[in-house]
Amino acid sequence: MKAKTEINPGICGLPSTIEVESDDMQMITITGTSKCPAIVKLINELNNIELDAYECCLGKMNESPV
């Protein structure tokens, strides 16, 4: 399964595209592109790391690996 979202930000105007992919509907990988330096840094930190989607979405916000 693959999901893609295009983010059109407010004041900075630097668009981003984020893609999430999973083979088993639980473990995910995140990739993306952006013109925003802060988002590029975040994408680079998350690239090639497999994350547990349930832990990211359903866990406590301050304990999320993202």
Q: Encode pLDDT of 12-57 as tens digits.
A: 889 999 999 999 999 999 999 999 888 899 899 888 789 999 888 8
The runs of H, that is alpha helices, within 1-66 are 37-46, 53-58
* Structural tokens at position 7: 């983010």
Domains of the chain: total: 1
Mean pLDDT of the chain: 89
pTM: 0.76
Distance between CA atoms of residues 56 and 35, nearest Å: 25
Amino acid in position 3: A
Domain of 33, in residue numbers: 2-63
